[in-house]
Amino acid sequence: MSRNARIRLFWAAAVVFAVVYALACTGLPRFGTRVHPYATRAVAASLRQHTANVVSSVNFDQRALDTLGEESILFASVLGTIVLLRHARDERVGRPRAGRVLPSTRLLGLVLVPVTLLTGVYIVAHGQLSPGGGFQGGVILATGLHMAYVAADYRVLKRIRPLAVLDVADALGAGAFTALGLAGLIAGGAYLQNVLPLGTFGQLSSGGLVPVLNAAVGVEVGSGVIVLLASFLDQAVEVRSANNPGPGGRT
Amino acid sequence: MTVLPFLTAGWIFLAGVYGLVTSRNIIQAVGCLAVAQSSTYVLLLTVGYRRGGIAPYFTDTPLRTRTVDPVVQALALTDIVVGATVTALLLALAMQIRKRHGTVDPDALTGLKG
């Protein structure tokens, strides 16, 4: 299809969509309405299960099976990216040169890396109590590690990043979620049912299976994002193809 | 205007799709797909908003406090995670296309290559 025809087709479809969507919007419940049947039930169920953070309760207890699908997508796309970005036969690996970093940046990085990693662990561990959880905390853990890339250079990042271990950790995190679901079956309930003791409301150990699943997801997301960024950084900094020879990129 | 927040989501979606249709660069198209997808976050959070509601967690708030809808927030979280990883996968594909075909213009990709 030619470019002009494509754009004309888009405008025709866009007008139809806009009209139908606007009509549909007028039929929706009003914005900011007080009556939310799902919210009321989800909050009640979350309090019954001693989970203070309702979003975590929905994700890891009430709709845990959906979250299993979600983290499977995450795992599959990390796997797909690694396969897509593997080194081809005509590519060779260059040696990245050291970049120049201001001493103040280096000092700030040195201070912030442990602080960020600790924040990540906190967000994962308190997922059942305060805003956060495995997904958010995992991303913070991964970005915390990459502060070493900003504050120092690629070679330092490579040294503190045990990629082989993280590959395995990613798979183990994904597998642990699936395996933890079996606990419900063993206890005589349903798959992914919350069977652990629920604990005291508002305590770190509350929520039963929720904090355990959060930890599994935190490990998976953290290592998954690091592995993902590693394959992209590798392409940008190290790989030199036949039509783009060079001694390796600057970090 | 209580329909305006819903219409905003539709407008963001159309802006993203327009970018997808017109873009001459695959990486830009991936960005436009992310924009189109972000309209669902706006739509979900709009559906779940309750006037005077607080964030749905009860660590240090009384149990009877009115909160916004936690179900759609959980859906938005799912959406963000899936969106980010799919974007990464598409960008990896774009890199391979650049390597194999030497171009990132979708219109220039005509022939199949083994």
Distance in Å, alpha carbon of B28 to nearest chain A alpha carbon: 17
Residue whose entry in the numeric block shows the structure tokens 């549909």: A24
Burial class (CB in 10 A: 0-12, 13-18, 19+), B66: middle
A22, A67, A130: residue with CB nearest B59:
A130
Contacts 24+ apart (CB under 8 A), B22-26: B22/A7, B22/A10, B23/B106, B24/B105, B24/B106, B24/B107, B25/B104, B25/B105, B26/B94, B26/B97, B26/B104, B26/B105, B26/B106
Q: What pTM was computed for the model?
A: 0.87
For chains A and B, count residue pairs whose Cβ atoms are closer than 8 Å: 147
- Give per-residue pLDDT as tens, A67-126: 999 989 999 999 999 999 888 777 777 777 777 888 899 999 889 999 999 999 999 999
Closest chain B residue by Cα to residue A83: B92
Q: Which residue of B has its CA nearest to A240?
A: B99
Nearest by CB: B50 against A34, A63, A130: A34
Tokens, residue A153: 């250079």
CA distance A196 to chain B (A): 21
Amino acid at B81: V
Among B2, B58, B70, whose Cβ lies nearest the Cβ of A39?
B70
Around Cβ B53, how many Cβ atoms within 10 Å? 17
Instruction: Enter the tokens of residue B89.
Output: 């996968």
pLDDT at residue A247 in the model: 46
Per-residue model confidence as pLDDT tens digits over B31-66: 999 999 999 999 999 999 988 888 888 888 888 888
Mind telling me how many Å the CA of B44 is from chain A's nearest CA? 11
